[in-house]
Structure 1
Amino acid sequence: MNIVVLIKQVPDMERVKFDREKGVVDRKSAGTEINPFDLNALETAVSISEKMDAKVTVISMGLPSADEALKEAIARGAHEGILLSDRSFGGADTKATSKTLAGAISKIGKFDLIIAGEKTVDGDTGQVGPEIAEILDIPHISYVEKIEDINQDNIVAQCELWGGTYLKKAKFPVLITVTKYINEPRLPTFKSKMKARKAKITVWDMEELKEVLTLEEVGFKGSPTKVKKIEVPQSAKREGKLFRENINEGIEEIITVLEDKKVLGV
């Protein structure tokens, strides 16, 4: 079995800052990490590979520095890492990103299972996984919280959607997106980290993918949607009042507020 895992290097969203004047994320303001949901996807793949004969290949699209994320993925149990990096890939929306990743997957050749996180914390769209499945013309199962069964022919997965629990079965090849509830990603050991530092990451640029992609399909050129501005709302501060001397006045104030908020009928 061949498993492909999609990962993305994202800013540390706990520390990243936003340029309010330009309306963009200041990616230089914080360090980077593997998208948390992608760690769940990787853990799912590695767990499967430990139970059955499966090769785990991790793919990421990004800057040359993203090879560190791929080496971390290898330290966590992946067997191979492929980085898609080229200036022409820059400025990609979800469609162009999906097209590029799908092209790389098709270049790999035979694959049985593609696993992605349900979304990325810097984009939050949840579109790339399903779009890749549509481009590759394969079925997909989204928001998987548990794998009930898997064998050489198919997978049975439990997913949560719109307040309901669904049990879905699909034959390979298939793509699934997983939630954070599917597992607890393991931490790499010191030994695996040292071994991964020596791992060779395969890098594919546009020249390597020209047989499966055109310049009009990737990056800014292949993106029908453009982000013009990101607005970050100001943090709301909680307000409070103390009524130590006159409790009844405080009660009246609470009732007034609840009536204004339509919590209580006037």
Structure 2
Amino acid sequence: MVRPMHRPHPAPRRLRLMTLLFGLFGLFALAAAACGDDSSPTATSSNSNGGEITVLAAASLTDAFRELGVAFQTANPATKVTFSFGASSTLVTQINQGAPADVFASADLANMDKLTGAGGAGAAGTPIAFATNKLQIIVGKGNPRGMAGPADLAKPGVVYVTAAPAVPIGKYAQQVLDKAKVVVTPKSLEADVRAVVNKVTLGEADAGIVYATDVKAAGDKAAGVTIPDDVNVLATYPIAVIKATKNAPAANAFIAYVTSAPGQAILATFGFAKP
């Protein structure tokens, strides 16, 4: 018996077509996954510094940190930085009493120790010294009293102002006077170094001991009298992330920028030196 001739079964042809389609789909899926892998690090790095942070910084850092903050936010557009400036002693007291903040930059080591020591709010890591500053005597434009050094602060009729001993500039100023063996009674104790500067530039005081950077910032409204190195004081500025921060990545990124080459360059334009 002759067997009837069978037509080829269509299943193998459909199977080959389905295999081709699944292969193309797989290629598209791999390509999409590759694109996703390339973009994910960028997204992660930009988001890691996002959100908001509050920086509490010494009054003498006001102008430098404002400019530095603009540069940092330009480099990290997803991050917003809010500054609060004042006496380091006042700021650390606020932090230790629970004021919300992410970064603390002090004009001295003693007030940073109040943050990191027993009873303090604590720091998330070891504080980093990021700048130094020397002291000068600030006087009115043209130096009308003819001041030449610390001894002249004790001359009759000279109105001298400073800050309280708990404020870094008040402590540093007294150290200068002690080294120079000069005894002078201040007319007033101001809240911070900016207030001392304002007293002199407004003509309400003849002189005060401030940071060299403050004399530079005053421009033509004041003049500076150099304090000899043997009686001068070198102020060291430490910075730290506060333990209770709610945005550690952004806080750490800000400190990294302060200590980076661009950050140090900005500080240098305001007269700060490297530690």
Shorter-chain TM-score category? under 0.3
TM score, norm. by length of structure 1: 0.27
Q: Which has the higher strand share?
A: 1
